[in-house]
């Protein structure tokens, strides 16, 4: 039987990404993303419900996240849902559910800088997100 484990998140960063490296030198980025839904409750009042999602990125994607993402920025993440089991200081089993991202799009526009000036020259290794005017240069 076939199965699919795919998550798609579009939301705002709750804090700056925490970047660290494994013993082998591979970059790992961890951060949270908030998604919000607005709806009317039974009494007709508008209610906003926010969900927080833990995100983990690996390798080059983690490095790009560390360079371009910061608290409040809008980001699109695709990946898989993973639950890890670990033990706390008292030896009790704990569980963490996260999205391990394999695709990321930065959606917040860059504030000021060369992008808004008339002398901006597009590098050959730059691409643009279809949902936003944000330019990203891979190095």
7-137 carries CATH number 2.40.50.140? yes
Q: What percent of the chain has pLDDT over 90?
A: 74
Q: Give the model's pLDDT for residue 108.
A: 79
pLDDT tops 90 at residue 138: no
Range scoring the smallest mean pLDDT among 13-17, 63-67, 86-90, 132-136? 132-136
pLDDT tops 60 at residue 34: yes
Average pLDDT over residues 67-90: 95
Average pLDDT, the chain: 84
Domain range annotation of the chain: 7-137
pTM of the model: 0.73
Q: Give the model's pLDDT for residue 109.
A: 73
Average pLDDT over residues 87-106: 95
User: 59: left (phi > 0), else alpha (psi -120 to 50), else beta?
Assistant: left
E-assigned strands of 41-110? 46-58, 74-87, 93-106
**Torsion sign across C-alpha atoms 39, 51, 58, 96:** negative
Closest-CA residue to 62 (of 11, 91, 96, 27): 27
């Amino acid at each position: 039987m076939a199965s699919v484990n795919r998550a798609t998140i579009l939301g705002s960063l709750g804090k700056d990404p925490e970047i660290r490296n494994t013993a082998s030198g591979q970059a790992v980025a961890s951060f949270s993303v908030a998604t919000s839904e607005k709806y009317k409750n039974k009494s007709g009042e508008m209610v906003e419900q926010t969900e927080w999602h833990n995100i983990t990125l690996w390798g080059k994607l983690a490095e790009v996240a560390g360079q371009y993402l910061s608290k409040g920025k809008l980001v699109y993440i695709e990946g898989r849902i993973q639950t890890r089991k670990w033990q706390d200081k008292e030896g009790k089993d704990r569980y963490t559910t996260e999205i391990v991202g394999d695709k990321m799009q930065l959606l917040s526009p860059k504030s000021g800088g060369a992008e808004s000036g008339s002398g901006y020259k597009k590098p050959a290794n730059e691409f643009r997100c279809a949902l936003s005017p944000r330019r990203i240069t891979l190095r």
